[in-house]
Amino acid sequence: MLVYFIGTGGSEGIPAHLCTCSTCSEARKFSFAQRRPSTLAVITENRKAVLFDVGTDIRDFLNVPLEAIFLTHWHHDHIYGLYKLRWMARETELYAPKGHADALILNDPKNLRPNVIKPGQTLRVDSLKITPIRLKHEVETLGYLIEENGKSVALLYDTKGLPEETREFLESKAPLRLAIVDATYPPGFDDPYHNNVDEASEIGLSLAERTVLSHISHKNLPFLELTEYVRKRWGNRVLVAYDGMVFYV
């Protein structure tokens, strides 16, 4: 499978509108440092696309039929693109947790077909086996274990650490090929709902061969400084995601 990082930012994106912080200022100089809100696609061995979160309008990046859409949670930075996709000319299954569901999507989904899913409820989509797992966030939030042909990817945002049952489940599957982990904040920053860079890296390193840090806020280190920090501390075992990045699993 291929993992396609369409959006790797937090809710505000980078650069945030009118913000003059060092992260946003750098992103105006170097377009590779700009980030759309969290949006990720998995391309199966059969070249089918499955979407995980829709924080941005995907039509310029993934103009293909979708086998399914999975949401981690219903915060608006993870569902913005659904308001466009509900008009697509093909019925498409949407899987999401129940908590804080968006009323418009539920009551007027157009060609979306919403389904409630729960932790441990394994689904098969094309060649993928997808298992929702509980995360620790402000609202009900699911991560996903995505498996294909003996290789596995864990999608772990938004979260602060991991619930014990989730960690035990993932450890039973370890080593994963890839862990994609919420790294919203810079090293040393403590937040009740999101990891910082060090916390995210430690989670990934304990579970997977490679870790990719994503869901990165403009409050984090500027792109070049962040990549240097991560490279010096963990070498190539931990990578910083960027919009347009593709990882072959």
What is the pLDDT at residue 45?
Answer: 98
What is the pLDDT at residue 230?
Answer: 98
Q: Give the count of beta carbons closer than 10 Å to the beta carbon of residue 106.
A: 15
Please check whether residue 158 is in contact with residue 180, taking contact to mean a CB–CB distance below 8 angstroms. no
Number of helices (H) and strands (E) in the chain: give both, helices first: 6, 14
Give the whole-angstrom CA distance, residue 85 versus residue 87: 5
What is the pLDDT at residue 56?
Answer: 97
Helices (H), 208-247: 223-234
What is the pLDDT at residue 229?
Answer: 98
What is the pLDDT at residue 206?
Answer: 98
Q: What's 137's DSSP letter?
A: S
Question: Measured in whole angstroms, how far is the alpha carbon of residue 75 from the centre of its chain?
Answer: 13
Identify each DSSP E strand in 47-127 by its residue range.
Answer: 49-54, 66-70, 92-96, 112-116, 123-125
What is the pLDDT at residue 163?
Answer: 98
- Mean pLDDT per segment of 10 residues, for the chain of length 249 residues? 98 98 98 98 98 97 97 98 96 98 96 98 98 98 98 98 98 98 98 98 98 98 98 98 98
What is the pLDDT at residue 228?
Answer: 98
What b/e string do you get for 123-153 counting C-beta neighbours within 10 Å, with b at 16 or more? bebbebebbbbbbbbeebbbbbbbbbeeebb
What values do phi and psi take at 213, rounded to 5?
-90, 130
Query: Looking only at Cα atoms, what is the longest distance across the chain?
Result: 49
Q: Which two tokens stand for residue 120?
A: 């441990």
Q: Are strands 92-96 and 112-116 parallel, antiparallel or unpaired?
A: parallel
